[in-house]
Amino acid sequence: ALARRLRAAADELRPSPPRVARGHARTARGGRRNDDDEGNEGNEGNENDGFDFAAYPSRHVALRVMYAGWDYRGFASQGAEQDGVRTVEEALFRALKRVRLIAPDATWKTCDYTRCGRTDAGVSALGQVVSARLRCRVPRRDDDDDGDGGDEIDYPAVLNRALPRDIRILGWTYVSPAFSARFDCEYRHYKYFFTDWNGLDVSAMNEAASAFVGEHDFRNFCKMDARNVHNYRRRIDSCRVVVNGPDSEFVRV
């Protein structure tokens, strides 16, 4: 079911039609796009094609990312460009550079990149969030309330033309320069699917799952990050084991 939803969503987000020669084009978000200043968006180009990234303003933007992860070795970069290991994050960074939303030599630190979390090899996501300082058309003012972004670059349309079809940008928003996709996250929602091979005792599994609900110290279940993390207590709002439909062979947690 999850695979079907991912593929269906990807099919609905087909690349935008070619830009008109001049004037304004309507974006997927309903804003207006001035083609006179977007001649470079979506072009592959290279680092020496004369595009001066420093000549453009930039803003902190959060992106909502969906991906089908079965062909990737997880979300987080693992030095994939050197090792030949495919990760979603490396594909995303390549696309950001290709459409010149970040500089060709940008690193996580220089573009203030943060991610909400990691996923393992083969795991998919419908609502991963990342943030970075991206090239923009609407500079931020000191008294700016962020506005509605109506005249901004259509980040989903631009990036989806450059990304593999199993990675899609679903939405975006301006965020504060201090925003962290990791530490400003309010909650995470996970679903695990597995096959009911031998008639699992779902009732007993639910009884065991209920022990996770509440606030607990999870320091023994995570990588120690003393520089950034000082509180290892987390609250589990719900943990349930559900048969995925009356005739389904799958159980989800």
120 carries an active-site annotation: yes
Provide the token pair at 17: 């039609």
Given the residues 37, 49, 83, 120, the one annotated as active site = 120
Active site residues: 120
